[in-house]
Structure 1
Amino acid sequence: MSIYAVLFDLDGTLTDSKLGITRCIQFALSELGYKPPDADELHWCIGPPIKDSFSLLLKTSDDAVLEQAISLYRSRFATIGLFENSLYPQISETLNTIRFAGYQTFVATSKPHIYATQIIEHFGLSSLFNGVYGSELDGTRSVKADLIYHILATEKLSPSHVVMVGDRSHDMIGAKHNHLTTIGVTYGYGTEEELKTHGADLIAHTPDEIPKLLMAGSN
């Protein structure tokens, strides 16, 4: 296995975004007249497309209602929630190690790229990525498989030389749909069982295990 490029999920993989995401979901639900769940009951919303999460929370597929919820969510997220966020320990060192070893690195998140780019810049990580990819505000490429396909095509990457690193099932599913090798991380919001069930080839329990797995696999 010769790996040349690594795709990183954002929420739950590079950053601990629980505070911002859950508070923005709670805000949107409150504005719509619902009693929001506690933050700890919203872990499952971190990672998947936000429209899917609101569809389940509001028990509806009505686009008008969902777009209103997303609009309320973003009204808070764009100014406050974006920065209610922190880097996981060792992330900067991990990315530096991977870059020093010669790998290309990309962010691959279901979050709109306009926000993802701001977050990466906020944490001073821009120089550690060849590119930051996310969805469009209208939901285009919010499905991980579509996003990964877009990255592979845009960057002219061969699936056999790319690894996806993520913490949730949709990261693994999207990667496997595009025939990528996968590393599931357990320090985020998904369990090892969830990751393995949906196709994780390797498991990292801490960020500093990621480059070790990459380099072991490339030998």
Structure 2
Amino acid sequence: MTTEHSAPAPIVLFDLDGTITDSAPGIHRTFRHALAAVDRPVPGDDVLATIIGPPMRDTFVRLGFDPPTAERAITAYTERYDEQGWAENSVYPGMRDVLRTARELGLRTAVATSKAEPFAARILEHFDLTQYLDFVGGATLDGSRRAKSDVIAHSLRALGVNPGEHDGVPIVMVGDREHDVEGAALWGVKAVFVAWGYGAPAEAEHAWRTVATTGELEEVLRELAR
């Protein structure tokens, strides 16, 4: 007699900012607040367009802040974001349906974001989206886990998967920045680039798929579930 074992369900990891929610208002206002706290000028729009996605600590370093100044900026940013910035946010039209579809298809779902995990969880709970997720993974407040590849590994482990050893389990990372694509590639995970977020078109160069609408993303998920 033989016993059949069903294959593990495919996994979909979702970025948060620029993928599930439009968080630009809160992040930009809080970024300006942090700069004022350390007496630094607000950079041009070309720089502001790049700050959503990468860890904020890395952004301050990229702007040339020395370590003490970067830490003060991070403290000011975190305090303001905790008080009000997190709520200056909205769910992209159609993304609730995408998450619901993923759940109905039997896919395992998690968020993998460079946003601090407590803030990510609060936002998703606020919008009643945690019901569609098996795990919410994010960065640590102290910055010890902030690279996208580390957050992806964190979320995969929470779902019972050893990063880099998927054992045939289909996994995709859905995001809007090159950090999502590159972080996924480090673990052999395919990336689906969403065109409605904050990334430039060139950032999708190495993605497995690019989708322009949430409807197209749902079709990719249906394909994954087959």
Q: Shared fold by TM > 0.5? A: yes
Moved over 6 A (4+): none
**Number of residue pairs matched?**
214
Residue of structure 2 in register with 1:190 after alignment: 199
Q: How far apart are residue 209 of structure 1 and its match?
A: 1.3
Rounded to whole Å, the distance in 2 between the matches of 1:165 and 1:36 is 30
**Residues 1-219 of structure 1 aligned to structure 2 (within 5 Å):** 4-37=10-43, 41-57=47-63, 59-60=64-65, 62-157=66-161, 159=166, 160-196=169-205, 199-219=206-226
What do residues 126-161 of structure 1 show as CA deviations (whole Å, max 9, x unaligned)?
A: 101001000111112210111112222232225442
Q: Distance in 1 between matches of 2:209 and 2:38?
A: 41
Deviation at 1:55, TM superposition (A): 1.3
Structure 1: where are the runs of 5+ without partners? none
Whichever structure has more helix as a proportion of its residues is 1
Gapped regions of structure 2 (runs ≥ 5): 1-7
Contact 1:192 1:203 in 2 (8 A): no
In structure 2, give the amino acid aligned to 1:177.
L
Q: 1:217 to 1:117 in 2, by over 3 A?
A: closer
Q: What are the superposed Cα offsets for residues 161-200 of structure 1, whole Å, 9 maximum, x if unpaired?
A: 211000000001110000001100010001232121xx20
Fraction of identical pairs, as percent: 39
Q: Which protein has the larger Cα radius of gyration, Structure 1 or Structure 2?
A: 2
Say if 1:173 and 1:180 are closer, same or farther in 2 by CA, change over 3 A. Answer: same
Distance 1:68 1:139 in 2: 14
C-alpha RMSD of the superposition = 1.7
What is the distance in 1 between the residues matched to 2:56 and 2:214? Answer: 25
What TM-score, normalized to structure 2? 0.89
Looking at structure 2, the residues matched to 39 and 79 of structure 1 have their Cα atoms a distance apart, in angstroms, of 25
Task: Provide the rounded CA distance (Å) in 1 between the counterparts of 2:56 and 2:172.
Answer: 24
> Following the alignment from structure 1 to structure 2, what is the Cα–Cα distance between the partners of residues 3 and 177?
22
Q: TM-score, normalised by structure 1?
A: 0.92
